[in-house]
Amino acid sequence: MQKQENPTYFDLFRTFFWMGLTAFGGPAMTAHIRKHVVDKKGWLEPNVFDSGLALCQIIPGAIVMQLASYIGLKIKGISGAIVCFIAFGFPSFLFMFILSVIYKHSKNITGVEHVLSGLRVIIIAIVANAAFTFGKNNFHYWNDWAIAIIAAGLFLTKLHPAVVLVAAALLGIIFTKRNSHPFEKLDSVKTFRFFIWALVSVAVGIVILFFLNKDYFTLATIMLRIDLFSFGGGLASMPIMYHELVDLFGWFSEKVFMDGVILGQVTPGSIIIAATFFGYMHFGILGSLLATFAVFTPSFLVLMGIIPFFDRLSTYPQFSRIINGILCSFVGLLSVVTYRFAIGVHWNIIEIIFTLVAFVLLMRKVDVVWIVLGGILVSFIM
């Protein structure tokens, strides 16, 4: 590992933009982010990364987006968090915006489905590989695997993710055999001041929208609510989004909603980027920008507000045990996501071979970008 002590903002932007461009599989991308940030570049210590991943699990919103912000914050403070957040999320917004424009004019996703159909099974391989790799690298005792299995079972019962995380944290306190060292803390005062300033700015913006345009105000508040209550990652936002957009406001039919979800699955980044699609379909370009901003803002603010207190907890002996329990539950979550993605595919021999080849290539450390591009190319040819 070649450690780069002080990366520039351009280094951060370039690295996270590239990772965002290939961020297929949602939370599974955490394994690839860890490989780049911890193993290759040495920007963070392993225990700092793992603690951040645990934190991003317990706050609402897209886990992988919050993790990008956390890493930037630890490396270069608040400005680093903003750079990493934007760089990682921009490619998925761009992909989704282009697909939304195509969809609105064609009223279907048949062409997109044909070209990107191979990505469905590749995403399964990516998530499965992330679960296996994360468990292999971080689990040292049978207790860790047991916590992961119990958490997976609880996730399958469709308990609220917050309940599962609390259970995993308790199991971590009871069964974890090791403690990690406290890590370097941030400038808590500066971070918390930024949180207050950003919170007030968003509140003022919402009030202004209320008086200027009630429709935009409604869209923004819907997306803010969706992100604020999406515990368990981007997938957890889909039922809330369906309730708000289809059942409550009736802006979209079930078919259009499902098409948006499918596009969210086959584009890089978190599935919650489907907000861009819904914003564009109902309100055009400004709607897509507003919906995207609003659906990622609450969890980013929560992260900024909670990190100063989270860092202080690292001085307590039981803290690392709680973190370990939550990390074990993350492997359980990835396993459940793999299962749910897999049962949604109509398998045939070609898709099985496709998935196994992708999994083997990932195990042999082939960069995910080449696997994704290869999958798109093979799908297009077939």
DSSP string, 296-343: HHHHHHHHHHHHHHHHHHTTSTTHHHHHHHHHHHHHHHHHHHHHHHHH
Structural domain of 86 = 1-382
* H or E segment to which residue 197 belongs: helix 188-212
Alpha-carbon Rg for the chain in angstroms: 20
- Domain total in the chain: 1
Task: Provide the pLDDT confidence category of residue 209 given band limits of 50, 70 and 90.
Answer: very high
pLDDT at 335: 84
Dig out the tokens for 266 from the structure.
Answer: 């086959």
Q: What is the mean pLDDT of the chain?
A: 81
Q: What percent of the chain has pLDDT above 90?
A: 20
pLDDT at 25: 63
Q: Which amino acid appears at position 47 of this protein?
A: N
Q: Is the pLDDT of residue 316 over 70?
A: no
Ordered DSSP codes for 126-179: HHHHHHHHHHHHH--SHHHHHHHHHHHHHHHTT--HHHHHHHHHHHHHHH----
Mean pLDDT of the 208-217 span:
91
Residue count of the chain: 382
Condensed to tens digits (0 to 9), the pLDDT of residues 176-198 reads: 765 554 445 555 678 888 889 99
Task: Provide the pLDDT confidence category of residue 1 given band limits of 50, 70 and 90.
Answer: very low
Task: Provide the pLDDT confidence category of residue 218 given band limits of 50, 70 and 90.
Answer: very high
Task: Provide the pLDDT confidence category of residue 247 given band limits of 50, 70 and 90.
Answer: confident
Query: To 10 degrees, the CA torsion angle through 51, 52, 55, 61?
Result: -160
